[in-house]
Structure 1
């Protein structure tokens, strides 16, 4: 059960995402099984190892060689008895290209951070506010315009409906904001829609919310970058032909900034958000002073011919379009573990600041646009029009446009913070690839960041960077997650009744109802405009998540520890127990047959054969010959060598090698399923990549083919070329 609001006696280390999440501990049942297996374990091990595993702990440490390009470490240092610690890089790889790439990587991302630094890579409120609110606050730059762009289809006279619709949206913002304020202390480990809906409504609802959130985050990046580039091209029309390259460049910069880690990303993105808020507050102040000079009399909007009739469907479409101003309101609840202690309290305070600022800016801009009689036009945003009208002279128009462009371009950073964290929680539950559990050099979820960037770049380029084509896809995924999260909280309060639970349930019920109404409205009203893509994509993503989870369930079942059989190992497996070839964990139950494929008698094959015989297990050599003549010649050479190992030759008149050998080994294993066939393959290791096409690489193809055979272990004995 999640920790409740009052349980705050100290910082909860469980709320911190650490690198150890990739290595979950064994549960008590698994530990008991492991002990029973250990009690039966018998293996003949010499008393002393032939080398010092401590790497000469009290001597001179060896220096790295070619493997510096694979693992950026200088070497190891002793830490505790039986434990070595990899040290940070001391020098660069040996090749010129390796040194250049290493310098570039370190220059862009910075030096790696230790795993323990994750406790300090968290945000205080003043840093978290701009990082997590950039998406929410930046949406006021295009949210009012999205609302008015639909109303203007009914003519200039319909623009007056913007005020009641804006009032309804303000009510929705406050209701959803208060709902999420309640969610945060109820789920202090991370209150994302995926977790809340899955915990209270079932796995299907959680995955549906996750699918909606993932689409939301991808579209957040695409829409924010598109709106930011549009703001730039509004001020500098000559850049219009470069819309797509500019947007892709911004996505790359955002990726690089976030790969540097949470704190560094915060330092990069803090200033633009605060500058934008201050610039808009200045715009509102001057704009309302100008309106007060004329007694707040609204200027009539321009005469715009009606393209559609004014009806309920158009009004609902306008409301749903304006609701995109709320995207990002859930960001704080998703990122609770990224806050400093007390995590949930700091997150809730930050959310309150965000919602209050959103309401002030959205309501203030919508009313000021109405008072100044502005209408959407092609080629220039409404905010640009308002800034030109408010500041006809001086540098302030440029300042506002620059601040707007920056916040819109950086608004995508909210998605960069939350999307990888969502994938982390999904991967931890087995609904996403486990690679998303990994923390990179800078303790950022590098794989999730790259996945978000690549997907958003594809969407942005596909739609040509046009905001108006992307927004119809936006609201459905956003409010699907809102609705499921708030409905989940209603169930949560009914289950965990406490002081004031009925009031809290009512608040979340109101949030769920209003969010659900917007969801249905957006799905119906914008279905033909592109919302059908999200309606189709969500169930497909949920199906994909289920398939991933099914795979991990099968994997876990196959790798789960099994109790040892009752029968003694020497007499074979007990009845009903799996044989050794199926993966028993006791060494005395494993019976070997070592097989060495021999193409020709040379240094590589003899070395593999010597290695096989040194293991002290029964050994068989196998030769594939294209004709009887070659088979006889190889046997003569084998006799000249001394016939120290049993040889079996297979004649392959159609000159195939891999297929006949794989089928032979499969048949061999079928005659004695209790045996483990250890196939030792000689492999020539090339020093240069371009030498690859000069060799057939039969050993690699053989390894790939034999991996599919159960009860067969494939290993290789490398022979390194001097050049």
Structure 2
């Protein structure tokens, strides 16, 4: 079974990579851009939809505000990109927001940011993959019932690709990402040219009317109108998610790491802003109509369209209008947009494991998350992210509209606290800097981060106000739970370190007063003889064999064989009127320990090593229960003595060392009597009987 698992792992993940090859896995800018930017760029695939759908409840006239909302989103994007360019230079270690906040605002604030980022990474995968599979289900309606299964399968494929290493996954995702950028760029340029020449057509949905919600029959007047605009703005700010991934992934860049990360961040912001503005503008120019429930909210001649109408996403409607005379281009735009939404999850697969490794190093998460796998990827972090994303996808039925409400609140918490931390960082640096040019640079950076505090803080307030009751409370609850769990993990590690620390070197040389060896036996056979031999080779102060009498005659047969073999080790028989095997042994071992608290009790347990995985359930069940129970008994050590079944020539030999029979089997006749006793003993069915039952 183990060999099969290893072969399967090598097929899926590839051969191990030596540690000295770590530099070969670092990413150049041309690969880092699609790896880290796909999340922010892919938001163009759904951010325009969310803005238009939100405004549509107030009627067609309200959607005219969408370009201004997009402009406000781009303004925040510019501020965030400029702010994070300062972060990647000041903190290039890969801790990102977590390191910035922990260093400047304290560990509790840092842990809050970490919980926000971890939850947001998981939601990034769930939202992106669910949205991408939504495109597939729209194109092939027959696949709609299997949307959840498809989404889970896609996340699994992404996890496997990332387990192979960031360079291989980046190369695999580079071509689709660049195709997506080219397709959106061609669509934008072609649409703008058609608009300027007066040849731009209207979207297929432009002929429909929007049924205005009764609460919005007066349009966007009053406080309610302002609240709706803010809600649309907060939905559009989904375009900013993913920007922080670059600050967390600086260690993955080729040298000079900070400069390459800052350049990639600038490219990301510029491309995302142009794409978002162009799509929002063309949506208005082609009169695209988007509503939350097209069956009832879209009207034709005053009548609802009904459930037979399928509402294409904004980019799909724009591409169908712009390329109405050239359908292959329409299919290309639709295909690469759906694909990039799926691949956007790869940003989280690069950011989450790095952040989890930093938290593992700081002992806020299990230390295993800080270790690289045999492909130099943080394999444990990738697997944890995969499990979390699958849980959200299955729990929310891969419904993008439901998942999107949980989105972005976490990332704006980290944005805001990070910018506050950067302001404090530059303020502290200015107190010691004396070079005028360096001080001028620091003051400029502090001003940029101060503007970032205002911008991201305002968006955070808007997001909390407009999305809390629509699902953001779930994200906040998850963040609180993560915060508490990570605090508990940190306390556990600290308590363990304090308990294991050597306060006096003299304590390290203290030995137990005596060592009492107990060999568990169910029958007298070769595994039992090996266990006795191993026990005697440790030269304990005292030694005894122990079996349990369950009333089936097995203990009497063992005693007869024991006496006939003239073994010098005394055999203790424990009575069990209720036929329980494990409890009498546990009680006896603990009683020995209580009688001599300074003594060490070593329990030698013969066990079978089976050849096939399914044979394991036929043996060693009692051994497992005994080890589990005695593991928590102070002063007791469990020593497993293996006997490999089915190995040709297996005798009292293990790992090349020949074990002799215990002293007392002094001649060939005694050894023959012991062998006869083995043959005469009843067969062990692996499920019960005298002694240790499931053990040999």
TM-score where L is the length of structure 1: 0.79
Structure 2 residue 415 is matched with structure 1 residue 482: yes
Match for residue 248 of structure 1 among 149, 152, 164: 152
Contact 2:124 2:345 in 1 (8 A): yes
Greater alpha carbon shift after TM alignment, 425-434 vs 497-506: 497-506
Structure 2 residue 383 is matched with structure 1 residue 450: yes
Q: CA RMSD in A?
A: 2.5
Q: Report the counterpart of residue 477 of structure 2 in structure 1.
A: 536
Aligned residues: 609
1:633-654 C-alpha deviation (Å, 9 max, x unpaired)? 7666554444623444433333
Contact 1:235 1:401 in 2 (8 A): no
Contact 2:603 2:636 in 1 (8 A): yes
**Rounded Cα–Cα distance in structure 2 between residues aligned with 1:431 and 1:198:** 12
**Rounded Cα–Cα distance in structure 2 between residues aligned with 1:369 and 1:533:** 32
**Rounded Cα–Cα distance in structure 2 between residues aligned with 1:340 and 1:228:** 31
Q: Report the counterpart of residue 210 of structure 2 in structure 1.
A: 304
Contact 1:211 1:542 in 2 (8 A): yes
Correspondences of 1:42-121 after superposition (within 5 Å): 98=4, 104-121=8-25
Q: Report the counterpart of residue 524 of structure 2 in structure 1.
A: 601
Q: Report the counterpart of residue 614 of structure 1 in structure 2.
A: 537
Structure 2 residue 251 is matched with structure 1 residue 328: no
Match for residue 338 of structure 1 among 249, 252, 260: 252
**Rounded Cα–Cα distance in structure 2 between residues aligned with 1:628 and 1:527:** 67
TM-score where L is the length of structure 2: 0.82
Contact 1:298 1:370 in 2 (8 A): no
Correspondences of 1:541-690 after superposition (within 5 Å): 541-565=482-506, 585-586=508-509, 591-621=514-544, 622-626=546-550, 638-642=562-566, 644-690=568-614
Contact 1:523 1:535 in 2 (8 A): no
Contact 2:98 2:113 in 1 (8 A): yes
C-alpha change, 1:607 and 1:205, in structure 2 (3 Å) is same
**Rounded Cα–Cα distance in structure 1 between residues aligned with 2:620 and 2:383:** 35
**Rounded Cα–Cα distance in structure 1 between residues aligned with 2:447 and 2:488:** 36
C-alpha change, 1:702 and 1:147, in structure 2 (3 Å) is same
1:509-554 C-alpha deviation (Å, 9 max, x unpaired)? 2212222222222222112211111121111111111122222222
Contact 1:189 1:337 in 2 (8 A): yes
1:561-596 C-alpha deviation (Å, 9 max, x unpaired)? 44323xxxxxxxxxxxxxxxxxx5327567422222
Match for residue 461 of structure 1 among 394, 404, 410: 394
**Rounded Cα–Cα distance in structure 2 between residues aligned with 1:314 and 1:301:** 25
Q: Report the counterpart of residue 704 of structure 1 in structure 2.
A: 628
Query: 2:407 aligns to what SS in structure 1?
Result: helix
**Rounded Cα–Cα distance in structure 2 between residues aligned with 1:702 and 1:172:** 62
Structure 2 residue 367 is matched with structure 1 residue 434: yes
Q: Report the counterpart of residue 361 of structure 1 in structure 2.
A: 275
Consecutive unaligned residues of structure 1, counting only runs of 5 or more, are 1-68, 71-92, 566-583
**Rounded Cα–Cα distance in structure 1 between residues aligned with 2:561 and 2:447:** 88
The Cα of 1:321 is off from its aligned counterpart by 0.5
Structure 2 residue 323 is matched with structure 1 residue 391: yes
Consecutive unaligned residues of structure 2, counting only runs of 5 or more, are 295-310, 434-438, 648-696
1:656-714 C-alpha deviation (Å, 9 max, x unpaired)? 33222222222222232222211111223333344444446322321221111111111
C-alpha change, 1:654 and 1:108, in structure 2 (3 Å) is closer
Contact 1:620 1:648 in 2 (8 A): no
**Rounded Cα–Cα distance in structure 1 between residues aligned with 2:483 and 2:342:** 30
Contact 1:156 1:301 in 2 (8 A): no
**Rounded Cα–Cα distance in structure 1 between residues aligned with 2:408 and 2:513:** 59
C-alpha change, 1:620 and 1:411, in structure 2 (3 Å) is same
C-alpha change, 1:355 and 1:693, in structure 2 (3 Å) is closer
